[in-house]
């Protein structure tokens, strides 16, 4: 079958690889669509996410929509041909974190699309019933694949403890920043300021509910008279963004770090504002069981999916799609790749 394979930094190729055979506890899936994620770009540009490096050729793809393509589907309460989402994290179910409802922190987890586990940017894929999520059949394959990114936003929202009317700064108006901007707006935030260096992404932030969109944290801080906002959500790939979040937050405010910085470190920051402000900092690692909420949020139109899913391409255009996504060209926010032909 055809698949996209990352061999190292800036080296993604289309190849023929053996089609997967489902194990006894797995079902065969025909992949409908896969969204390109910021974490895929780290594998593509740096050959890894932080210290987690690719050591052998890696099929990426963890934002997955697929058709159940297995005659055994009814045994699992599914229908052959049914469109489903695939939750990328398969957790053990019995460790301390799983038992406490934190499957994203399971030390035994398999993450589809993160080494050493194969991703879904290929014609076929296999998955256990545990991670196959039935979805409303009126959803498009692109929307279903993007439910994972929406889920990241919902998981981050739970960390924010946002109260009605509170002011918010969102760093970054890429896919996750854009989702979070709409979620905080929908959740009753007060003033929302977006910090985003790319001009067309700033324009988009204003359309999606931001009150102001500026290029730098200094401008954002100035807009608040130097006080900062109650909540700062960081959704960038910049190693400076943590320091910028500290500058942009109000004294005694909260910072939620969602983005994955390029490289393996955050850049150093001044100790004084950080410790003096008595800020609360929370981090996010993937997400928990939030597909039901992600489906509900999308069904109710809280997220503009057309504004999120800007590019739709067949598998054969994967290389160009990754290059465009990495260069922020052509107004790209999120690319949807269709391994079995574009359906939208």
Q: Which residue do the tokens 């793809």 mark?
A: 61
- Which C-beta is closer to Zn ion: that of 63 or that of 230? 63
The helix/strand/coil state of 207 is helix
Window contacting Zn ion (CB under 5 A); options: 3-11, 15-23, 89-97, 138-146: 89-97
Q: Is 37 in the site for Zn ion (CB under 5 A)?
A: yes
Reference 87, options 235, 295, 259; nearest CA is 295
Distance CA 330, CA 24 (A): 44
CB of 240 to Zn ion, least distance (A): 22
CB of 324 to Zn ion, least distance (A): 18
Q: Which of 36, 65, 98, 170 binds Zn ion (CB under 5 A)?
A: 98
Reference 309, options 328, 337, 340; nearest CA is 337
Query: C-alpha distances in angstroms, 168 versus 17, 90, 272?
Result: 47, 33, 22
Q: Which of 95, 302, 326, 343 binds Zn ion (CB under 5 A)?
A: 95
Q: Which of 1, 78, 92, 305 binds Zn ion (CB under 5 A)?
A: 92
- Which C-beta is closer to Zn ion: that of 49 or that of 184? 49
CB of 164 to Zn ion, least distance (A): 29
- Write each residue from 230 to 269 as x if it is in contact with Zn ion (CB under 5 A), else as -, in one continuous string: ----------------------------------------
Q: Is 337 in the site for Zn ion (CB under 5 A)?
A: no
Window contacting Zn ion (CB under 5 A); options: 91-99, 155-163, 252-260, 298-306: 91-99
Window contacting Zn ion (CB under 5 A); options: 84-92, 123-131, 237-245, 333-341: 84-92
Strands 249-257 and 280-283: parallel
Q: Is 105 in the site for Zn ion (CB under 5 A)?
A: no
Window contacting Zn ion (CB under 5 A); options: 6-14, 55-63, 74-82, 313-321: 55-63
State the burial class of residue 87 (Cβ atoms within 10 Å of its Cβ: 0-12, 13-18, 19+): buried
- What's CA 169's distance to the chain center, in Å? 19
Q: Which residue do the tokens 């540009």 mark?
A: 45
CB of 129 to Zn ion, least distance (A): 17
DSSP 44: H
Helices and strands, counts by H and E, the chain: 11, 19
- Helix, strand and coil content of the chain, in percent to the nearest 5, comes to 35, 25, 40
Q: Which of 33, 58, 89, 91 binds Zn ion (CB under 5 A)?
A: 91
CB of 96 to Zn ion, least distance (A): 8
End-to-end CA distance of the chain: 22
Q: Is 106 in the site for Zn ion (CB under 5 A)?
A: yes
DSSP 286: S
- Which C-beta is closer to Zn ion: that of 5 or that of 106? 106
Residues that bind Zn ion (CB under 5 A): 37, 63, 91-92, 95, 98, 106
């Amino acid at each position: 079958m055809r698949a996209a394979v990352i061999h190292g930094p800036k080296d993604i190729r289309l190849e023929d690889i053996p089609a997967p055979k489902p194990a006894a506890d797995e079902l065969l899936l025909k992949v409908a669509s896969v969204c390109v994620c910021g974490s895929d770009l780290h594998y593509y540009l740096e050959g890894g996410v932080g210290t987690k490096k690719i050591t052998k050729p890696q099929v990426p793809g963890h934002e997955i929509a697929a058709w159940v393509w297995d005659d055994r589907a009814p045994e699992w309460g599914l229908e052959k041909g049914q469109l489903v989402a695939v939750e990328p994290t398969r957790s053990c179910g019995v460790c301390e974190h799983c038992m406490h409802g934190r499957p994203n922190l399971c030390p035994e987890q398999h993450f589809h699309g993160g080494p050493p586990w194969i991703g879904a940017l290929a014609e076929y894929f296999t998955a256990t019933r545990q991670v196959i999520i039935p979805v409303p059949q009126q959803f498009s394959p692109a929307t279903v694949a993007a439910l994972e990114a929406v889920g990241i936003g919902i998981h981050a929202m739970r960390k924010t403890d946002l109260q009605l009317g509170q002011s918010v700064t969102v760093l970054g108006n890429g896919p996750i920043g854009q989702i979070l901007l709409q979620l905080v707006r929908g959740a009753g935030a007060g003033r929302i300021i977006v910090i985003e260096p790319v001009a067309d992404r700033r324009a988009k932030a204003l359309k999606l509910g931001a009150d102001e969109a500026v290029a730098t944290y200094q401008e954002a801080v100035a807009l608040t008279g130097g006080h900062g906002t109650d909540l700062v959500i960081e959704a960038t790939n910049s190693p400076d963004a943590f320091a910028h979040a500290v500058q942009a937050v109000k004294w005694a405010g909260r910072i939620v770090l969602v983005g994955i910085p390029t490289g393996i470190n955050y850049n150093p920051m001044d100790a004084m504002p950080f410790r003096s402000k008595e800020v609360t900092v929370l981090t996010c690692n993937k997400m928990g069981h939030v597909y039901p909420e992600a489906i509900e949020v999308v069904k109710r139109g809280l997220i503009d999916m057309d504004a999120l899913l800007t590019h739709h391409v067949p598998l054969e255009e994967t290389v160009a799609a990754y290059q465009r996504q990495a260069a922020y060209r052509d107004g790209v926010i999120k690319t949807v790749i269709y391994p079995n032909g574009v359906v939208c």
